[in-house]
């Protein structure tokens, strides 16, 4: 996703690098929360 944002020009309403980093951050936080919930629900630690 970051490479695609870097290679595109962004345009007036396009996908720029700031948006790409924001989405990657959201995806990372979501993944970390989901992994935490999965580990909290498991019997083994």
Please measure the distance between the N-terminal and C-terminal CA atoms of the chain and give it in whole angstroms.
Answer: 33
Give the length of the chain: 45
Structure tokens at 27: 């995806």
pLDDT at 44: 65
Query: Who wins on pLDDT, 14 or 20?
Result: 20
1: pLDDT confidence band, cut at 50, 70 and 90? confident
Does residue 4 contact residue 16 with C-beta atoms inside 8 Å? no
Higher-scoring residue by pLDDT: 41, 12: 41
Measured between alpha carbons, how far is 38 from 35 in angstroms, rounded to an integer? Answer: 5
**Per-residue pLDDT reduced to its tens digit, 16-45:** 788 888 999 999 999 999 999 888 877 765
Residue 2's pLDDT is: 78
The domain segmentation of the chain, as residue ranges, is 2-40
């Amino acid at each position: 996703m970051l490479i695609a944002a870097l290679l595109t020009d962004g345009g007036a309403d396009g996908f720029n690098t700031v948006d790409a980093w924001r989405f990657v951050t959201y995806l990372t936080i979501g993944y970390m929360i989901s992994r935490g919930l999965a580990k909290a629900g498991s019997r083994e630690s």
